[in-house]
Amino acid sequence: MAATPDPAPLMPSDNESLTQIESQARSELDAVDDDDALERWRVSYLGRRGRLTLVLRGLTSLPLEERKSVGAQANRLKRELEAELQEKKARLGQSATEALIAERIDVTLPGPPLRAGRLHPTTQTLRDMLDCFVSMGFQVVEGPEIEWDHYNFEALRIPKDHPARDMWDTLWIDAQEESDRPMLLRTHTSPMQIRIMEQAQPPIRVVVPGKCYRYEATDPTHEWMMTQVEGLAVDEGISMADLKGTLADFAHRIFGPDRKVRFRCDYFPFVEPGMELRIDCFLCGGEGCRTCSRSGWIEILGAGMVHPEILESVGYDSERYTGFAFGMGVERIAMLRHGIDDIRLFYSNDLRFLDQF
Residues near ligand PHE (CB under 6 A) are 188, 190, 268, 271, 274, 302-304, 325-327
CB of 261 to ligand PHE, least distance (A): 16
CB of 266 to ligand PHE, least distance (A): 8
Tell me the catalytic residues.
Answer: 168, 188, 214, 228, 271, 325
CB of 305 to ligand PHE, least distance (A): 9
CB of 220 to ligand PHE, least distance (A): 19
CB of 178 to ligand PHE, least distance (A): 26
Of 21 and 271, which CB lies nearer to ligand PHE in the complex structure? 271
Of 274 and 288, which CB lies nearer to ligand PHE in the complex structure? 274
Of 67 and 244, which CB lies nearer to ligand PHE in the complex structure? 244
- Where b means 16+ CB within 10 Å and e means fewer, 330-346 reads bbbbbbbbeebeebebb
Of 29 and 226, which CB lies nearer to ligand PHE in the complex structure? 226
Strand duo 139-140 + 204-213: pairing: parallel
CB of 271 to ligand PHE, least distance (A): 5
Of 62 and 136, which CB lies nearer to ligand PHE in the complex structure? 136
Cα separation of 17 and 198, whole Å? 111
Of 50 and 191, which CB lies nearer to ligand PHE in the complex structure? 191
Chain residue at closest Cβ approach to ligand PHE: 327
